[in-house]
């Protein structure tokens, strides 16, 4: 007759696409190495919007981003602690816009040095995730 | 931005957005700005976009100003976007000229279930791209930009159902069904009305006929599963749920229900499988994690009750790790361990996994409840009195103490004294404490 319900569950339906970011403010010399303090907002064609701790950046500051696929394993976390960023997608950029709130600073970064191919791949990961959800919705709404 | 509002092909879309108003409740300011800009690209006037500071402001604005379009976070520190949806539907029951979008950190395919199961039109998942934002607005509302007569009638009927005019809705739906060769959707809504009128047999026939025409029709499958659950036809519910899951992603909120359904159908292999499957998800969202935790808790309870304590404990500990300190789950897990006499395990679980998200008072009360079960009356009294002199003073502490005094056959005078204190500290609950006293007095008599 029918399969067991548990056999019909698809793991991929519950998996998210996520990345973790750590960064260095190349202008001030400060850094944010705790990925939990950085949230990605909008991903642009040649830039990215992030939420970071307050007062992390000033206008036109330069920064280097290190982007990792989540979840981060212990080995990667150890490497980051030792300032070894091998395996990350590295991008250099400049602060284009800042919005300051009490508990968060929102920054828009415009890239000045990056690999367009790698960035496109990262960008597409997220459009693909959204497209998949849209496909599932359209399948369910079909009459 | 690729949407061109000056392109003649897009005129019907721009016409739809013209003169409409919107509210955007999204904590990240840059996200808000992007959503606002995109709505303007689609033809909304920038002066008609309201950005509330708080959830309460958003609610007030929706209730009073009735904005046509809403963008809201699905969960902002406990504030639920779906509560705004309920309010929006109440204020504008006919959804033909409205748009409701959630913004969510969960970008797993299972989030699609929220759109299928509610009147949400689309979900913007984070992080997002401009292309995605444009797409969800275009596709999420595509049936509304130029609705055909059939869809117009269905939306009108749904609006009437919200307003309580069931007869009016039924008339419109029947006309809609008459005008369509395969009226699966309108018949689905007729079936819902039949169920609410207790014509369950006719509703079931209608829904089964729908599935003859479209074996995968999501709403019909869902309504049948719901009907079978209501009728306690667990086997039929299981079979219908299998059909849904064969085609569609499961709404993670249903994880606990699914586990219960498997138990009701004695499909015990499901239980072992759930415990395995759920714990292998690499990047679950916070919401999914908590529902998985609840599902694992049910698995764990079942396993310990059916004499598989080792597997049960594994599921329980896994659940505790994923519970994120949610008290209701931790309590259920601790109770499962207490069922097999593992008091130490229960206590350790609570201590190890309670965190800043755990309701401190509820936790303290529960730990006291466990203590009271296992301890003699004098020790319980001593610990209870300490709690009543601390920040954990709660009516439940009094309840536990009074019940312990009663079961310990203490003198009625002592019980009366405790009840008087309870009434003094919590006068609103005097009746409840009085009932306990009367029980003690009738025992003593």
Q: What is the pLDDT at residue B29?
A: 94
Instruction: Kindly report the nearest CA distance between residue B241 and chain A, in angstroms.
Output: 7
Chain A residue with Cα closest to B136: A134
Specify whether the CB–CB gap between B163 and B93 falls below 8 A.
yes
Q: Which of residues 161-220 of B touch A (CB under 8 A)?
A: 182, 184-185, 214, 216-218
Chain B residue with Cα closest to A20: B127
> Could you tell me if B250 lies within 8 Å of chain A, comparing CB atoms?
yes
Q: What is the pLDDT at residue B5?
A: 87
Specify whether the CB–CB gap between B71 and B24 falls below 8 A.
yes
Q: What is the pLDDT at residue B253?
A: 85
pLDDT in tens, B212-267: 999 999 999 999 999 999 999 999 999 999 999 999 998 888 888 998 999 899 88
Domains with residue ranges and CATH for chain A = 15-141 (2.40.10.220)
Q: What is the pLDDT at residue B312?
A: 83
A chain contacts of residue B238, beta-carbon cutoff 8 Å? 2, 5
Could you tell me whether strands A47-52 and A39-44 are parallel, antiparallel, or unpaired per DSSP bridges?
A: antiparallel
Query: In what helix (H) or strand (E) does residue A77 lie, and over which residues does it extend?
Result: helix A74-81
Low-confidence ranges of chain A (pLDDT < 70): 1-2
Q: What is the pLDDT at residue B101?
A: 98
CA B260 to CA B307: how far, in whole Å? Answer: 18
Residues 6+ away with beta carbon under 8 Å from A29: none
Q: CB–CB of B282 and A71 under 8 A? A: yes
Q: Which of residues 277-336 of B touch A (CB under 8 A)?
A: 277, 280-285, 288
Helices then strands, each counted (H, E), chain B: 24, 8
Q: What is the pLDDT at residue B398?
A: 95
A chain contacts of residue B285, beta-carbon cutoff 8 Å? 16
Q: What is the pLDDT at residue A1?
A: 55
- Work out the average pLDDT over B268-292: 79
Using the predicted structure, report yes or no on whether residue B50 has a pLDDT greater than 90.
yes
Q: What is the pLDDT at residue B233?
A: 97
Mutation pick from A46, A123, A140, A142 vs chain B, by most beta carbons of B within 10 Å, is A140
User: Please, what is the angle between helix B255-264 and helix B234-247, to 10°?
Assistant: 140
Of B115, B185, B282, the CB nearest to A15: B282
Mean pLDDT of chain B: 92
Mutation pick from B24, B26, B27, B30 vs chain A, by most beta carbons of A within 10 Å, is B30
> Could you tell me if B236 lies within 8 Å of chain A, comparing CB atoms?
no
- Work out the average pLDDT over B25-32: 96
pLDDT in tens, B83-133: 999 999 999 999 999 999 999 999 999 999 999 999 999 999 999 999 999
Q: Is A94 helix (H, G, I), strand (E, B) or coil?
A: strand
Rounded to the nearest angstrom, the gap between the alpha carbon of residue B163 and the centroid of all alpha carbons in its chain is: 23
Using the predicted structure, report yes or no on whether residue B175 has a pLDDT greater than 90.
yes
> Could you tell me if B132 lies within 8 Å of chain A, comparing CB atoms?
yes
Q: What is the pLDDT at residue B324?
A: 84
Using the predicted structure, report yes or no on whether residue B276 has a pLDDT greater than 80.
no
Q: Which of residues 84-113 of B touch A (CB under 8 A)?
A: 106-112
A chain contacts of residue B115, beta-carbon cutoff 8 Å? 137, 140
Using the predicted structure, report yes or no on whether residue B1 has a pLDDT greater than 70.
no
CB neighbour burial string for B63-90, b if at least 16 within 10 angstroms, e if fewer: eeeebbbbbbbbbeeebebbebbebbbe
Chain B residue with Cα closest to A51: B28
CB neighbour burial string for A56-68, b if at least 16 within 10 angstroms, e if fewer: bbeeebbbbbbbb
- Range with top average pLDDT, B198-207, B273-282, B341-350: B198-207
Instruction: Kindly report the nearest CA distance between residue B438 and chain A, in angstroms.
Output: 50
- Work out the average pLDDT over B362-386: 91
How many contacts (CB atoms, under 8 Å) link A and B?
169
> Could you tell me if B388 lies within 8 Å of chain A, comparing CB atoms?
no
Q: CB–CB of B139 and A134 under 8 A? A: yes
Rounded to the nearest angstrom, the gap between the alpha carbon of residue B191 and the centroid of all alpha carbons in its chain is: 24
CA B218 to CA A143: how far, in whole Å? Answer: 9
pLDDT in tens, B145-164: 999 999 999 999 999 999 99
Instruction: Kindly report the nearest CA distance between residue A49 and chain B, in angstroms.
Output: 7
> Could you tell me if B266 lies within 8 Å of chain A, comparing CB atoms?
no
Q: Is A31 helix (H, G, I), strand (E, B) or coil?
A: strand
**Predicted ipTM > 0.90:** yes
């Amino acid at each position: 007759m029918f399969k067991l319900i548990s056999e019909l569950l698809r793991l991929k339906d519950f998996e998210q696409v996520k990345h973790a970011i750590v960064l260095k403010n190349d202008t001030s010399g400060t850094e944010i190495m705790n990925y939990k303090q950085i949230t990605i907002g909008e991903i642009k064609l040649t830039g990215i919007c992030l939420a970071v701790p307050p007062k992390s950046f000033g206008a036109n500051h330069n920064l280097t981003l290190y982007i990792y696929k989540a979840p981060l394993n212990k080995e990667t976390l150890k490497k980051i602690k030792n300032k070894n960023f091998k395996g990350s997608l590295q991008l250099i950029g400049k602060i284009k816009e800042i919005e300051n709130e009490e508990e968060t600073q929102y920054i828009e970064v415009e890239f000045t040095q990056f690999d367009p191919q790698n960035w496109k791949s990262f960008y597409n990961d997220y459009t693909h995730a959204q497209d998949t959800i849209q496909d599932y919705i359209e399948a369910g709404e079909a009459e | 931005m690729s949407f061109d509002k000056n392109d003649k092909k897009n005129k019907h879309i721009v016409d739809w957005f013209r003169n409409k108003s919107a509210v955007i409740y999204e904590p990240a300011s840059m996200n808000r700005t992007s959503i606002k800009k995109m709505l303007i690209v689609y033809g909304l006037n920038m002066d008609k976009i309201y950005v509330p500071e708080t959830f309460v402001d958003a609610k007030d604005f929706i209730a009073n100003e009735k904005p046509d379009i809403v963008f809201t976070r699905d969960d902002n520190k406990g504030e639920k976007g779906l509560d705004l949806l309920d309010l929006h539907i109440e204020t504008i029951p006919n959804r033909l000229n409205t748009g409701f979008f959630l913004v969510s950190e969960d970008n797993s395919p299972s989030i699609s279930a929220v759109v299928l199961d509610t009147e949400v039109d689309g979900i913007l998942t984070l992080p997002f791209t401009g292309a995605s934002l444009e797409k969800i607005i275009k596709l999420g509302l595509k049936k509304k930009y130029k609705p055909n007569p059939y869809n117009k009638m269905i939306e009108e009927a749904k609006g009437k159902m919200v307003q309580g005019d069931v007869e009016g809705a039924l008339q419109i739906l029947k006309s809609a069904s008459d005008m369509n060769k395969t009226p699966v959707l309108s018949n689905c809504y007729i079936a819902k009305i039949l169920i609410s009128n207790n014509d369950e047999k006719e509703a079931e026939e209608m829904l089964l006929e729908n599935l003859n025409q479209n074996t995968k029709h999501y709403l019909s499958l869902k309504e049948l599963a719901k009907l079978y659950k209501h009728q306690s036809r667990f086997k039929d519910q299981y079979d219908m749920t299998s059909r849904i899951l064969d085609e569609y992603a499961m709404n993670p909120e249903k994880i606990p229900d699914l586990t219960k359904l498997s138990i009701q159908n004695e499909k015990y292999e499901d239980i072992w499988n759930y415990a395995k499957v759920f714990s292998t998800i690499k990047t679950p969202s916070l919401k999914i994690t908590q529902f998985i935790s609840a599902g694992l808790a049910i698995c764990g309870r079942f396993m310990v009750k059916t004499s598989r304590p080792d597997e049960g404990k594994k599921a329980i500990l896994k659940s505790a790790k994923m519970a994120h300190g949610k008290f209701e789950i931790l309590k259920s897990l601790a109770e499962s361990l207490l069922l097999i006499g593992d008091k130490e395990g229960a206590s350790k679980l609570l201590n190890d996994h309670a965190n800043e998200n755990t309701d401190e008072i509820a936790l303290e009360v529960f730990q006291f409840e466990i203590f009271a079960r296992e301890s003699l009356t004098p020790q319980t009294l001593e610990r209870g009195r300490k709690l009543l002199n601390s920040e954990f003073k709660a009516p439940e502490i009094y309840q536990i103490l009074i019940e312990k005094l009663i079961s310990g056959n203490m003198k009625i005078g002592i019980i009366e004294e405790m009840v008087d204190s309870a009434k003094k500290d919590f006068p609103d609950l005097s009746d409840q404490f009085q009932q306990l006293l009367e029980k003690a007095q009738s025992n003593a008599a």
